[in-house]
Structure 1
Amino acid sequence: MISRYAVADIEKIWTDENKYQVWLDVEKYIVEAWASLKVVPQKDLAALSQLKVDLPRMLVIEQETKHDVVAFTRMLGEQIGHESKWIHLGVTSTDIVDTAQNFLIKNSNVIVEQELKNLLKTLKSLALKNEKILIMGRTHGMYGEPTSLGLKFALWYEEINRQIKRLELARKDIELVKISGSMGNYANLELAVESFVAKKMKMGVDSLSTQVTQRDRHAFLISVFGNLASTLEKIATEIRLFQRSDVNELAEGFSAGQKGSSSMPHKKNPISSENIAGLSRFIRAFTNLAFENNNLWHERDISHSSNERIMFPDIFNTLVYALRRMNDTLQNLQINKVQIQKHIDEAHNIYFSQRVLTYIIMHNALVTREEVYDLIQKCTTISMVEKTDLKEVLLNNDILNFISKQEFDTLFDKQFFNRQTKQIFKRVFNQK
């Protein structure tokens, strides 16, 4: 991952030093498991416990072996005496590599989940704070009816909540130990060895594998990340649309000393949202790669190995970076209440068209829906062309003679559009 988008917490997990330390931990746990089965003498464990990763030496050996795990085990074997024969007993390379990688994925998933929960907290706060603020709702980019600004944030809260649930399912699928031997049939192993290692690493057990953990598990996780990225881009796009000069209802915070353009000093651009949108596309690009990795030859090949060395560090770095930037963007979001109200007012009440339509249909048995619809459509057109309040245009039509002026006025209460918001919030936030 390039330094611009690297996240220290993730980078630390995926360093070579940490990866090979986890390899060593797995090797040690396997030996301990054999000892628990009385295959490895207890007296030999002391020497094995002193093993350390000597990365420079391993790299030298790998120049000859052209095999990183063989180089690794030989590097370890050089550090002790006859006890070295117990290293890698009954296992194959991917027992170590896949188990370790799944463990690194587990530790990275913990960070992703925490960032999602941080984002949830921010979205809930924004939703509750803006519950009563009405903002013009839009479909096809055009004015529809006013809605609660808080509902927008609540909608994103609910979607992030669903993404967390999907992540939880994917975590159960991928955070597994795989110690099943060369063909995955435990021919040179005991199932108890795998269970022992799983308990040590606080992970599940892959119930059936080949020489590798099956990559449908990885594809599921990456597809969840791709879905999550689509949510982040959705939020980012909404912010970008609202920050347009002709809308100007929401905008990213602009810090002291920040510049929007190298040539136009007046510019304040939604750079964070655009950044997140671009990174979201990058994250989704990994989904096809992950699915293709599931197509390995027979019990295994290594066509997946090369791209996974790049994919996992990059996708975790990018995702956590994007989540943190999104959270920061939302926490510093500027809400232009004056502009929001201006857009509601300049619509001249045309957004009450459905309210009036429904009321007449329900209370006047002498008209058809088509008659009322066509009439109100004409009235809204007049209202917008002449910039006249829809109420005034409608009052000049006989179709409304059956109701009093006072009752007619009640049809144009803007809080009508917010009347169910509190109930929706109760459902979303599990409020009583």
Structure 2
Amino acid sequence: MINRYSVSDISKIWSDENKYKTWLNVEVAICEAWNKLNIVPNDDLISIQSRASVDLVRMREIELETKHDVVAFTRMLSEIIGKEAKWIHLGITSTDVVDTAQNIMIKKSNQIVLNELLNFQKTLKQLALENEKTLIMGRTHGMYGEPTSLGLKFALWFDEIANQIERYKLASQQIEVAKVSGSMGNYANLELEIEEYVAQKFSLNLNNISTQVTQRDRHAFLVSVIANIASTLEKIATEIRLFQRSDVNEICEGFSAGQKGSSSMPHKKNPISSENISGLARYIRSYVGMTFENNNLWHERDISHSSNERIMFPDIFNTLVYSIRRMNDTLINLHINREEIQNHINEANNIYFSQRVLTFVLMKKQTVSREEIYDLIQECTAQCFATKTDFKEVLKNNNINKFLTNKELDDLFDVQFFLRQTHKIFTKVFKIKSDK
């Protein structure tokens, strides 16, 4: 991961120093499990626990000869520990250490992601509650529809993030497993109690069954959920970008003192954070296909997955956490242009009441056909667009009175009508108590 998008707490988890320290912790834990089975003597275990450490320089020197990082790792430990190192790597294979250690690092990364998502949810909830009564012109197909609550937009994103959190917890549960089942996954050279001890020590779940590796359907599921989260972030980013367009200008990213929008045009204020997040979402999604291909390994195991996972997991976790944090900051500093929002509602000349008039007439007049009243209202909307005349006045000029009294018509044109169910929706989304 390039420094521009790296996140310090994620980068520390996936650093070489921490990775090999985690390998060491797994190796020592396996020795402890053997000790409990009365195979590794107490004194030898104490020596291993007290002496074992990682010398990265020496390990890399050995790897130049062995061309095998785990063999280089165990030989480095033998040099440091001495004769008691005979118990290191007893009965296990490389991926017992590598997969378990990687899943430990994934578990730590997952907790950071979940914390960031929960923090992001708080921001969305606050924005939703603050804007529950804020009317904004709703749009479908990019065209004016009817006014709606701006708060509903944030509530929708809150609810979607809640769904993502639920998916992420399930994916986390499935991938956070210990894998200490030996070379063929049949525990031939060790006992099932070894894996159980390691799982308990690192608060991991257990594989029911494995080959030499943890099956990569678990990784594919996690990365798919991460890509889904990225799609939600991009959805939000796209909405901000659309709202920030010069001809809309309703919701914009904050623009700090000294910030520049263009190298050549000083007047520009571009939605750079949202564009950045959109681009990174594409990058995250590019890993999905790879993870599904990684599930297809030869016989009990090959290492075609290993090389890309070394790159993928540090990158995808850094990118995801960076994107969540940046989107959260963007929303915290969001500028809501309430004056322009109201201008767009006003310039629609009340045409957005067309459905309400249609529905009311159909409910009141039992003999009128939908086609008759629909065509009349559509003709009136066309006149409204052409003449830029208020929709209610156009209706009055086109014999709407044969369906509605003037009072009924006036009563229909209440813009607060479009907010009448908002609180009920909020009650469902946020589980808040209803006023009733």
- When normalised by structure 2's length, the TM-score is 0.98
Question: Counterparts of 2:99 and 2:23 in 1: how far apart (Å)?
Answer: 10
Aligned residue number for residue 388 of structure 1: 389
Question: Counterparts of 2:173 and 2:259 in 1: how far apart (Å)?
Answer: 43
The 5-angstrom pairing of residues 400-419 of structure 1 reads 400-419=401-420
Question: Counterparts of 1:370 and 1:80 in 2: how far apart (Å)?
Answer: 88
The 5-angstrom pairing of residues 60-79 of structure 1 reads 60-79=61-80
Deviation string 1:80-138 (CA, Å, 9 cap, x unpaired) is: 33211111000000000000000000001111111101110000000000000110110
Question: Counterparts of 2:371 and 2:405 in 1: how far apart (Å)?
Answer: 23
Deviation string 1:166-214 (CA, Å, 9 cap, x unpaired) is: 0000001100100000000000110000000111101111111000000
User: How far 1:407 sits from its partner (Å)?
Assistant: 1.9
Question: Counterparts of 1:98 and 1:378 in 2: how far apart (Å)?
Answer: 68
Aligned residue number for residue 24 of structure 1: 24
Question: Counterparts of 1:399 and 1:30 in 2: how far apart (Å)?
Answer: 83
Aligned residue number for residue 54 of structure 1: 55
Question: Counterparts of 2:390 and 2:350 in 1: how far apart (Å)?
Answer: 6
**CA contact under 8 A between 2:171 and 2:222: conserved in structure 1?**
yes
Question: Counterparts of 1:353 and 1:99 in 2: how far apart (Å)?
Answer: 62
* SS, match of residue 79 in structure 1: helix
> 2:411 is matched by which residue type in structure 1?
T
Aligned residue number for residue 33 of structure 1: 33
Deviation string 1:396-418 (CA, Å, 9 cap, x unpaired) is: 23343343322211101001000
User: How far 1:64 sits from its partner (Å)?
Assistant: 0.8
Aligned residue number for residue 256 of structure 2: 255
Deviation string 1:117-165 (CA, Å, 9 cap, x unpaired) is: 1110000000000000110110110000010000000000000110000
What CA RMSD, in Å, does the superposition of the two structures yield over aligned residues? 0.7
Deviation string 1:261-301 (CA, Å, 9 cap, x unpaired) is: 11111000000000000000000001001111001001000
The 5-angstrom pairing of residues 224-373 of structure 1 reads 224-373=225-374
> 1:123 is matched by which residue type in structure 2?
L
Question: Counterparts of 1:143 and 1:398 in 2: how far apart (Å)?
Answer: 26
Aligned residue number for residue 216 of structure 1: 217
Q: Percent identity?
A: 69
Question: Counterparts of 1:241 and 1:400 in 2: how far apart (Å)?
Answer: 40
**CA contact under 8 A between 2:117 and 2:161: conserved in structure 1?**
yes
Aligned residue number for residue 134 of structure 2: 133
**CA contact under 8 A between 2:361 and 2:403: conserved in structure 1?**
no
Q: Which runs of 5+ in 2 are unaligned?
A: none
> 1:348 is matched by which residue type in structure 2?
N
Question: Counterparts of 1:290 and 1:96 in 2: how far apart (Å)?
Answer: 21
* SS, match of residue 137 in structure 1: strand
User: After the TM superposition, which segments of 4 or more aligned residues of structure 1 sit over 6 Å from their partners?
Assistant: none
User: How far 1:365 sits from its partner (Å)?
Assistant: 2.2
Question: Counterparts of 2:33 and 2:128 in 1: how far apart (Å)?
Answer: 52
* SS, match of residue 326 in structure 1: helix
Question: Counterparts of 1:79 and 1:349 in 2: how far apart (Å)?
Answer: 81
Question: Counterparts of 2:210 and 2:67 in 1: how far apart (Å)?
Answer: 26
Aligned residue number for residue 398 of structure 2: 397
Aligned residue number for residue 194 of structure 1: 195
The 5-angstrom pairing of residues 66-105 of structure 1 reads 66-105=67-106
Aligned residue number for residue 179 of structure 2: 178
* SS, match of residue 80 in structure 2: coil
**CA contact under 8 A between 2:93 and 2:183: conserved in structure 1?**
yes
* SS, match of residue 146 in structure 2: strand
Size of the aligned set, in residue pairs, is 432
**CA contact under 8 A between 2:124 and 2:155: conserved in structure 1?**
yes
Question: Counterparts of 1:379 and 1:236 in 2: how far apart (Å)?
Answer: 37
Question: Counterparts of 1:333 and 1:142 in 2: how far apart (Å)?
Answer: 23
* SS, match of residue 432 in structure 2: coil
Question: Counterparts of 2:401 and 2:192 in 1: how far apart (Å)?
Answer: 80
Deviation string 1:331-354 (CA, Å, 9 cap, x unpaired) is: 000000000000001001110000
Question: Counterparts of 1:12 and 1:374 in 2: how far apart (Å)?
Answer: 65
Question: Counterparts of 1:174 and 1:86 in 2: how far apart (Å)?
Answer: 28
Deviation string 1:31-78 (CA, Å, 9 cap, x unpaired) is: 000000111111211110121001111111111111000010011011
* SS, match of residue 417 in structure 2: helix
- When normalised by structure 1's length, the TM-score is 0.99
Question: Counterparts of 1:126 and 1:250 in 2: how far apart (Å)?
Answer: 13
